[in-house]
Each structure stands twice: as C-alpha cells, then as structure tokens.
Structure 1
Amino acid sequence: MDCDDPVELVPGVWQVRQQLSQEVPLYLHLVVGAEGAALVDGGLPSSLPAIERLMAAAGVRDRDLRFLLNTHGHHDHIGTFAALRTRTRARVVADPAAVRWIEDLDANLREFALHRPDIVADSPELRAELAPTFGTPCPVDVTITEGGTVRLGGGVVLEALQLPGHVVGELGWLERSSRTLLLGDIVTGTSWSFFHGHLLPTQFRRSLHRLRALTLDEGVHLVCLAHYASRAAGEFLDLLAEVERYLDQVTDTIEGALGAAPRSLTEVWRRTCADMGRVEEFRGLAMVQAHLREAVAAGRARCVGPDLYVAVRSEG
C-alpha cells in the first residue's frame, strides 16, 4: 500500500493520501470532535491500513469512531465500511440514492461497470480487474438528505449537502466550526487517461455553481477532496473553473461528433475518446450516453433509432 503519513489539516480534521495508481490519488478524511469521530468515505478494501494509521495519528480508538459518512456509492468510497462497522460499531450514513450500491455490490458492479455489456463486454479480464476493488456489502444505518447534521461534540457539526451530477446521489459535508468542506467526486478528475465521468451533466454543472456560491457565501476556509489535494478557498474556486471548462469541452466534443447522418452511441463514444485522448472504457461510455440523453431532451439532438442519434442544428 502506497500512502503518506496522516496529517492534521486544521484542528480536528485529519487526512491520509493513498495512491491508487500512478495518476489517481485517494484522500481519506477523519473529523474529530469532543465526543467522537467520523470517517468521511471508506476507500477501497486495501485502504484499511491507511485508515488505521489515520485513526492512530488522530488518537481515535475504535470505540471513538461513531460515524462512517459516505459521499457516494462508488467502490473506492465504500470498501472498508463493512469491516469498520463490525469492528467499531460506527453507523454508516449515506444519501438514500447510495444505499442500493452500498448494500448490494452485485448491483453496484452491474450498474457501474457492466451497464452496456453489448458495447463493453462483461469479460473475465474486466471482472478480474474490478473484483479486488469491491469489498463486502454493508448495511446503511442512517439515510440523510440536504441539511441533515451529524454532531461530534464540542461544536463540531457536519452538515449534509446534496450534490448530484457525478452520480445521482452524492453528498458533501460542511463542518462549520472550522469552515471546512469535505467532498467526494463531485469535482471530477479532468486529466486522467480515462473519463472520470458524470451521469447527470446539467445537475453536475449546477452542483459546481452551488459549490462556488457556497464557498463564497459561507466563508469556507479549507476544501478537502477525494482525488485532489486539499486547498484553500481561492485555489478551490480556480479548480471549479477548470472543471467547468472541462465540462464545456466534453459537451462540445460529444455533440460535435453528431451530424446529419445517424451516428451510433458506440461511434460517438469512440470518437469522443479519440478526440480527447482517453481510453475507451465503461465510465466514459456512461458519460457519453448521459450527454446524448440530455441533448435529445434539450432539442439539440434527435434519437432516430436504438442508440442512433443525429444533430439538430439551429438556424442562423
């Protein structure tokens, strides 16, 4: 396991970095109050030693860990929940839309990676690649929505923010006493060799806009992210602008692949991957399909057959 030493970013907010691959880091966060602690996301199954080091550095014993707070149901955010819940009796807290993927990992795998086996085949090789990254199914003890709070004592309160876009159900957590914002994947990676992806493009953009307003209006001091290094408010606003530009590029590339002649989903996906220098894989496919669905709903494209699309060009 390649991970750094845990660090205390601000009083009561701890972080450890685990390197998932050469290009993808994973940051895990622990928030400590006077009456207990909360882990924000559970990483992969391989993240357990890093989390144990994080707890030890923060002086958090098993009995002190009260909550396992989820941002969303992707496998690299839930992998240790079952083991930690059994060991510490901490309660798992998640958005209602994330429950199915946390409690039913077969459904998680099918819907996340194998949603179009006619295009991205359900192969032994793909399953062998993904199997070690999926842990054990875990019950969700508490569902929480916008404005719900988790109290850790001593004025440390985490407030849930619903931030859909990357997936249907995603939460961020605002700790007001330290003015710290803790996020999952709503701020997606923009430069990886594969598309990090988003399933609701319009809501993704709205959530980015909301994060910008929240950072300014609430006087956010520090932003902790799952796949970027933590940063101060000004740097975070710059990152949001970068992700918005990336979203514009993705939208223009996908819709630019359409013409007067019908193009299949597969053709648009492959052209988008080629034009943006990304490998062809399931996350990008789901993202392209989501953009085409929204383009049809907005009248910028028409679906003229099963998985066949044409552009609707505006006049003038």
Structure 2
Amino acid sequence: MDECVALAKECGVAEASVEMWVASELFMDGNKRAFFRAIKTPEARLHWIAATMDQWVEEDEEEEEEEATAAKRRKNLIFSAAELIGKFYVVDSGFSNQPGYLAPYKDTKYHFQEYNQGPPPRAEGLHRRSIIVSIWGNHSTTQVPDFLNAKIDGRPVKEVIKDTKWLEEEFTMTVQKRGGVLIQKWGRSSAASTAVSIADAIKSLVTPTPEGDWFSTGVYTTGNPYGIAEDIVFSMPCRSKGDGDYELATDVSMDDFLWERIKKSEAELLAEKKCVAHLTGEGNAFCDLPEDTRLPGEV
C-alpha cells in the first residue's frame, strides 16, 4: 500500500488531491495494487488513475440520472392515484401544493388560526382549506390520530375521504410512525421538531382558539370527561382563551375504533407509570410493558 502511494506521488499526484483519494481507494484492492506496480512508466500510471476517476464520475452521474427518473415516476404515480381515488398525502412545507399533496401555508401549522388567514396556495386549481385534527395518547407508536372528529373545510373527514379502511390502517400507521421515519431518514434525533412542538404548544395557550377549533397537547387526565384513567399525562383536544390556561374540548365524538386505540395508549402509559413507581412514591417499581412502542431510532 505505502509503495503504491509513493509511486502515485512520483507520477505527480498531490497528497491531498482527489486523484490521491481515488488512488487510495483503488489500492485497497490487492489485485489493483499489483496491476499498478506492474505499469512501466509514471505517465501510464497517472493515466490509469485519471481514467479510473473519470469512470467513477460517469457512473455516479448515471446513478443520479436513474434516481431522478425513478423519483419522477413515483411522483407521477402518486398524482395519478390521487386523481383516481381522491386521496392526498398530508406533507411538510418542503413540498409544493400539487395534485396528491396537501401542504401547509408557509410558516404556519395546520391547527393554528393563522392557517385560515394565510395566503392561498399558488398552484392552479387548489383552494384555501382549514384542517382540524387531534392526536390522543402517548408520544409513541400508540398515539391516536383522530380522523373521526377531524374536519377539512368544515366538513367531517369521513365525508371527504370515504375509504374508511385507508383511514384506519395506512393513514393511522403513517402518523404513528412519522417521527421514527424522520429519525431514520436523517440519522439523528428529532430534537428540532420537538422544539418546534414546544413553541407551538405555548403559542396555542396564549392565542385564543378559533370557534369550533381545538389543539392537541399532553395534559393531566385528572377530571377529564372522556373516561380516560386519572393521574397520567395524555394528549387530548384542548381549547384556550389565550390566557395561558386551557380547557378540554367536550364536543367530540367517540366510536369503538377510536376508543379502542385510546385505551391501548392509556394501557401503555399506565404500564410506564408502574416502571417509575419508586420515583413517584407509589411503591416498588414493576415494569411490564406490553410491547416496545418507541419510535424507530429512539434509544
């Protein structure tokens, strides 16, 4: 390896250059080291390194072109599906408003009053829309996106999206695992997202909640009107007068599907509470969680 590096330097390859990096990668292979040593002249060795580098660049460009073509095909597939079955993907602000995508207005969130007051999307054929949706339960994969009480432009979601199976399965699971997907995609903590959520929660408490709207936040369940176990922190639909306090929304509907999943998240929180009983003065700790519901990538 050292001998080949020395021969590369004799060819005029600078130590910190791209050519030297290419040569070092090549020299990891014993057969390529032997081939390089067998080349008779410095000029021919330099030509071999340069030709290899050009080949790698060309292969990278081909891979990028193939990925761009595949991405375009996936995008067109989503557009076609959206037009055929009337579904859409709720996406982050990094996406533009296009058929099949429902993106928020710039610098606003779905559950804030400003969303209704923001400028309309520029994409042709789209209109302003108001979205209300709650999240119940724990911050884990048992969290419950509440499509039963959700509304789009004032209409119940189940009137707009009539595929109940999709709502119960694909939509619910996508929301439950979204945080883990972000952690896996970026390879690091979603702390920035958490910080934004904290700021959003505070803003919800100091901003009067629009009539008919609510926001979701984790609060103590003691005295709640839904029948959820007492003395745990549980995400529930809330309203605020803008004075820093909140009250639980009572005009929500409940069906068997929603209640079953709320109870599953409740059971998980009660089991977690037992795990730290020795810290809360409630006796000896006993940890018997039904399953690992941490978001993928969390430790």
Identify the TM-score tier after normalising by the shorter chain.
Answer: under 0.3
Q: TM-score normalized by structure 1?
A: 0.26
User: What is the TM-score with the length of structure 2 in the denominator?
Assistant: 0.28
Structure with max Cα Rg: 2
